[in-house]
Structure 1
């Protein structure tokens, strides 16, 4: 049975009405992909922030968001910052202070970093799905798929190890790679490298369900499935 699975997969891209093209591997991102990604930076779990209310020394402090991207601030209470820009967080705090505590508060929020905060945020991989600590994690040195999952605290009890999806934008194209962590652990194929701005989803993801008809005939156990999904 395994010998039969080891054969070449069918030419997915040439199938009638196929919306995708099969490739041998995920292409490496280009330098321009990182540059484009630095236009906006979003707050996530464990982000270090500097919050300042002009003219109020007691309300100038460093904070760190928790695992869900929240933090507490005096007179405001809990601020849900995950997925918001710095301007969004500033406006949220300003609106809660205005009128009740300070007539016209001027609030600034910045990433607490000695380097360009937008660049720092861009050099990260996002790990989501059935992991213990979903979030964005810095890509320092060479990071593989197994390492990225480990940075997110490993998989939880509901994870499907055969359902691990990696999204990657290269140039004007979007790619998706579907991997099996059990197969990687067993040495059936190598642990793929992960790059900044990749999105890793562990579990029964919508991306895998979208390609369920293709997956029925592709030997995902002995090789990953790499697809060119669409032009951006």
Structure 2
């Protein structure tokens, strides 16, 4: 990031973001197509399930039927589900939690075949994220892959060697929603220029704090 000063940390991998860094609060979040919800109905185990909305944002449940969930907050969906179930269950107690959402995305740019934003569904790693961008280009510098992440309001970045990950030198790091991945991008690499001059062989990831000047 232009105008940033680097502070090298002792970490060998980027810390995981907090829940607040990844998604908006559950009171504000609105359900989208293909979101996966965990639904619990107290005292009625057969209605407890994890279910994914279809392409139209609809969710079909026993007794409740089909509910148009897209555009509703979790609280609004819970209230609608309680109303439907109240026809069969006295004072139903319903809890709805978001498990996965395609509205969360990762950005991949630089020397890849198809730069862009890609939805995250389930566990994501650096290699998988680059595969979503159709892989690195033929001229990509795989020793210079930078991941940017915001953690509790603090901007951080890590420099990875993709070839080293493929060789098993160190693990394929987890990637989270809102991460930005730069593959072989010279402007991103320049952030690490002084560090790389002192230690040109990247045997472990380099993790830094980005402090704006």
Normalising TM by the smaller chain, what interval? Answer: 0.5 to 0.7
1:221–1:122 CA distance, 2 compared to 1 (3 A): same
In the aligned structure 1, how far is the partner of 2:131 from the partner of 2:25? 24
- 1:222: how far off? 1.4
1:179–1:220 contact (8 Å) kept in structure 2: no
Corresponding residue for 1:139? 120
SS of equivalent residue, structure 1 residue 178: strand
Q: Where does structure 2 lack aligned partners over 5 or more consecutive residues?
A: 34-54, 58-69, 73-99
How large is the Cα RMSD of the aligned pairs? 2.9
Are 2:113 and 1:125 aligned? no
Instruction: Normalising by structure 1, report the TM-score.
Output: 0.55
Deviates more, 1:173-182 or 1:197-206: 197-206
SS of equivalent residue, structure 1 residue 153: coil
The aligned runs of 1:1-232 (5 Å cut-off) are 19-24=6-11, 25-36=13-24, 114=57, 115-116=70-71, 122-218=103-199, 220-230=201-211
1:216–1:137 CA distance, 2 compared to 1 (3 A): same
In the aligned structure 2, how far is the partner of 1:202 from the partner of 1:120? 25
Q: Where does structure 1 lack aligned partners over 5 or more consecutive residues?
A: 1-17, 40-47, 49-111
1:162–1:180 contact (8 Å) kept in structure 2: yes
In the aligned structure 1, how far is the partner of 2:6 from the partner of 2:205? 18
Instruction: Normalising by structure 2, report the TM-score.
Output: 0.59
SS of equivalent residue, structure 1 residue 158: coil
1:127–1:200 contact (8 Å) kept in structure 2: yes
Query: What count of residue pairs does the alignment treat as equivalent?
Result: 143
SS of equivalent residue, structure 1 residue 200: strand
In the aligned structure 2, how far is the partner of 1:169 from the partner of 1:121? 19
1:30–1:170 contact (8 Å) kept in structure 2: yes
- Write out the 4+ residue segments of structure 1 that deviate beyond 4 Å after TM superposition: 36-39, 119-122
In the aligned structure 2, how far is the partner of 1:210 from the partner of 1:171? 21
1:150–1:206 CA distance, 2 compared to 1 (3 A): same
In the aligned structure 1, how far is the partner of 2:25 from the partner of 2:112? 25
1:145–1:29 CA distance, 2 compared to 1 (3 A): same
Instruction: Encode CA deviations 1:29-58: one digit per residue, 9 max, x unaligned.
Output: 11111235999xxxxxxxx9xxxxxxxxxx
In the aligned structure 2, how far is the partner of 1:124 from the partner of 1:135? 10
